[in-house]
Amino acid sequence: MDLLLLIQGLLIGIFCYLGSVSSPWLMGVTGGYYVVGRPLVAGLIIGLILGDVTTGIILGVAVQAAFIATISTGGTQNSEITYAAYGGIALGLLSNADTGVAVTLSVGIGTLGLILHNLMMIVNSVWNKRTEKAAAEGNATKIIYNNAVYPQLLNFVLRVVPITLAVYFGQGFITRVLDIIPKDVTQIMTVLGGLLPALGIALLMNLLIKENKQLIFFLTGFVIIVFFTDSMIALTVFGVLIAYIVFLSLGQSQIETDDDGVI
């Protein structure tokens, strides 16, 4: 038994828990889900744990690209980003996989993780009744236990155990699989790894774009990056300028309609 690997797997599992959407310890989602839970940050943490920061971050950047536009609105999502980040990057790093393979691993693990996450969301209904009862009794301590302690124990187990096992047993398995799969399959994984960000971005567009004519702003942003500059900062400043102009012009038409109303 490889004790070092087991401890490394356990540490990665604990960070996977800390970065989960419902973990409260790092200032709620602010320091957890949106910081430790992001693949970019996970890459650094996994790199530190496994002793290869550079590769960890490179894989983190690749997986982050696939999940760049991951959004979870109203409690629904298509892949569980924290499982994806910690499982995918750790296994990718341990098996010396290239970035396309790591991204595909992440997406697969993220889908499995989503099942566990949804299981937790269903089981958590139990605490609702108990919290209501505690509130009726005016028992604040009991509310805190039912909101924070019990659900978190469940969340902890559901995160740490699978990730530890995956890291511990997955390494040799993934390495062997990667050795025997044909070149075409690796190529498919690489192509898919490049295509996956399109899905996340499409989901984001679906959230933001309400009218087809807004597509012109999407195209503008796209073309600026393709033809003029690689810098997102430059694009953001330019975007703020346009947004401000639109804000002002909308204000004017607002006042005009108000005047019409008075007349």
Partner 1 sequence: MFHLSSMSFEKLEANGFAHSMIPILKKLYKDDPEAYKQALERHTAFYNTEPQVGSLVNGVVASIEEERANGKEVNDEMIHSVKTGLMGPIAGMGDSIIQGIIIPILLSIGMGISANGNPVGVFVYILGYLSIILTVSYLLYMRGYKMGVQAVDELLGANSERLRSAFTLLGVMVVGGLAASFVKLNTILQIPNGEEVLEFQKTLDGFFPKLLPLIAVLVCWYLISKRKWSATKVLLFLIVVSIAGVLLNVF
Q: Which is nearer to partner 1, 11 or 168 (CB)?
A: 11
Segments in the chain forming alpha helices (H): 3-18, 39-50, 53-66, 81-94, 99-123, 125-136, 140-144, 150-180, 183-208, 215-223, 232-262
97 in contact with partner 1 (CB under 8 A): no
116 in contact with partner 1 (CB under 8 A): no
Q: Are 46 and 86 in contact (CB under 8 A)?
A: yes
Q: Are 167 and 94 in contact (CB under 8 A)?
A: yes
Pick out residues in 199-258 that bind partner 1 (CB under 8 A): 199, 201-210, 214, 217-226, 230-233, 235-236, 238-240, 242-244, 246-247, 250-251, 254
Q: Which is nearer to partner 1, 1 or 226 (CB)?
A: 226
Q: Of 27, 115, 157, 161, which lies in the binding site for partner 1, with binding defined by CB under 8 A?
A: 27
> Nearest to residue 98, comparing CAs of 193, 200, 165, 197?
193
> Nearest to residue 120, comparing CAs of 161, 86, 88, 87?
161
* Conformation bin of residue 57: beta by default, left when phi > 0, alpha when psi is -120 to 50: alpha
260 in contact with partner 1 (CB under 8 A): no
Amino acid at 53: V
Contact region for partner 1 (CB under 8 A) — 2-10, 60-68, 160-168, 169-177?
Answer: 60-68
> Nearest to residue 197, comparing CAs of 87, 106, 69?
69
167-203: buried (b, 16+ CB within 10 Å) or exposed (e) per residue? bbebbeebeeebeeeeeeebeebbeebeebbebbeeb
151 in contact with partner 1 (CB under 8 A): yes
In the bound complex, what is the minimum distance in angstroms from residue 2's beta carbon to partner 1?
A: 26
Contact region for partner 1 (CB under 8 A) — 3-11, 63-71, 158-166, 167-175?
Answer: 63-71
Contact region for partner 1 (CB under 8 A) — 9-17, 157-165, 173-181, 191-199?
Answer: 191-199
Number of residues that bind partner 1 (CB under 8 A): 112
106 in contact with partner 1 (CB under 8 A): no
198 in contact with partner 1 (CB under 8 A): yes
119 in contact with partner 1 (CB under 8 A): no
In the bound complex, what is the minimum distance in angstroms from residue 160's beta carbon to partner 1?
A: 17
